[in-house]
Amino acid sequence: MINITHKSYTLRKAIAEATVTVSSHETIDAILNNKVPKGNVFEMAKTAGLFAAKRTSDLIPDCHPLPIEYASINFEIKEQNITITSEIHTIYKTGVEVEAMHSASVVALTIYDMLKPIDKNIEIQNIRLIDKKGGKSDIKDSGEGLKASVIVCSDSIFAGKKQDSAGKAIIDNLKKNKVDIENYIIIPDEVEDIRTTVKESVAAGINLILITGGTGLSKRDVTPEALYPILERQIPGIAETMRNYGQLRTPYSMLSRSLAGTVGDSLVIALPGSTRGASESMDAIFPAALHLYKIINGGQH
């Protein structure tokens, strides 16, 4: 199966449809009057569809097991056509469109099976996805037109004793989100160096300032101390999201002192210094963090 461990939990919905066409109005009358020998067609088919939604991963090899937190199956009759609609919701890391389509198809097959003793010319048609929502595909915020500074805070990297990989991981993520990289700067773990570099980026009109390193608890980790006095408005939710995301992957994320806030119209985010921590933090908050620029410019959520 595809690796989805980097994805975040979001509300995901899907609606699928299938059509069963019978050959006569007598078949429709038998359904409506509950005269079908095998029993109540819609109740039996609905039950089968609910089972199908919950067991999709047992039958479709690449589907991930996921919690079905809402399922609704409805029927509409027009002349000799029975339209089946299956709507599925979950809060998970991957979508439920296959679950909705599987459910609709099993409902259609169940109707076929129940009606075949009285109608030999039934057809199942148009099994299709009607709508899907949730996940990053729903987040339309883009980094187009935004400029970023990536600042690496590390004594050892600044001294040339170690190669940077966390800053480069951040740059890779920004490029995926169409953000232009204006500056890539390596500085030591010094309060004044950090503060001055951030102020210079703000003065240069940089929209997004990302700092990696110095957010831990060693004696030289001073990035939060450097930023607290100059942040005009803190955004606790960004740091909370990074830590929550990380905590699901390592028990040490709770020790991170990552933070975020604005200086003027610039968003400043301090991320962990490890490559994995920086990369996972970027996965946690982007592209959603880019929504800030819409709000700054007077837009609505």
Residues assigned a catalytic role: 113
| Interatomic CA distance for residues 43 and 66, integer angstroms | 25
> What is the Cα Rg of the chain in Å?
27
Token digits for 190?
A: 């010094």
Q: How many CA atoms lie within 13 A of 240 on its CB side?
A: 4
Query: What are the backbone angles phi and psi of residue 280, rounded to the nearest 5°?
Result: -65, -35
| Interatomic CA distance for residues 239 and 135, integer angstroms | 20
Cα three-residue angle 88-94-99, rounded to 5 degrees: 35
- The dihedral through the CA atoms of 158, 160, 161, 166 has a sign that is positive
